[in-house]
Chains A and B, each alone.
Chain A
Amino acid sequence: DAGITQSPRHKVTETGTPVTLRCHQTENHRYMYWYRQDPGHGLRLIHYSYGVKDTDKGEVSDGYSVSRSKTEDFLLTLESATSSQTSVYFCATADYDEQYFGPGTRLTVT
């Protein structure tokens, strides 16, 4: 597996609080992605990055922001968490075609 780590791996937070999830890679891949996975919806793209400080929205970006100040780190922020954002969040990286996924973060918003 590619060197992709996500932190935290599990988090429980309250509605209205800010939350930041971190993805770290050691592969020097250009592209990085944040997905959320919910039953019956597969994997849905939240935001992605095609280089340092270059990001773009995916299909479910409302309520989320991202930042990439270094090649190896891609941060996902929920400015004010809502219960609908309870999900499993996966980070992925890619250099050309194949995407490599991190282990995931299980986020519960109560």
Chain B
Amino acid sequence: GQQVMQIPQYQHVQEGEDFTTYCNSSTTLSNIQWYKQRPGGHPVFLIQLVKSGEVKKQKRLTFQFGEAKKNSSLHITATQTTDVGTYFCAPLWDFGNEKLTFGTGTRLTIIP
């Protein structure tokens, strides 16, 4: 079946350092969503990317969708303790298919 690989699985950074997580597919995606889950919480939608090469920013977070629509990344600049959590990508391969597939997530911990 269609799968996506998300790397790294874990990332420990000093507060103030940057953080990046990557999501890679072997086949072309229709779009991709990103979610954040705080420890003990539930996933919360961050953003959706649809267009080839699309770049979107939310304050210190930058989301990119590759030109071939096979990969995506989430970059956080100058991490803060509030960024702690697990970040999931959720690609959609077919428009009109309501089933999202989630990556395994990248768990971010911050060293104060």
Which residues of chain A have a CB within 8 Å of any CB of chain B? Answer: 31, 33, 35, 40-45, 48, 50, 56, 58-59, 90, 92, 94, 97-104
Contacts and interface: CB of A to CB of B under 8 A. Distances in A.
A105 to B, nearest CB: 11
A101 B48 contact: no
B85 to A, nearest CB: 13
Contacts of B1: 59
24 contacts: A31-B98, A40-B104, A42-B6, A42-B88, A43-B102, A44-B102, A45-B99, A45-B100, A45-B101, A50-B98, A56-B99, A58-B99, A59-B101, A90-B42, A98-B48, A99-B33, A99-B35, A99-B45, A99-B100, A100-B45, A101-B43, A101-B44, A103-B42, A104-B42
Majority secondary structure of chain A interface residues (helix, strand, loop or mixed): strand
Given A31-B98, A43-B102, A92-B43, 14 more contacts: A33-B100, A42-B102, A42-B105, A45-B101, A50-B98, A58-B99, A59-B101, A98-B48, A99-B35, A99-B43, A99-B45, A99-B90, A101-B44, A102-B42
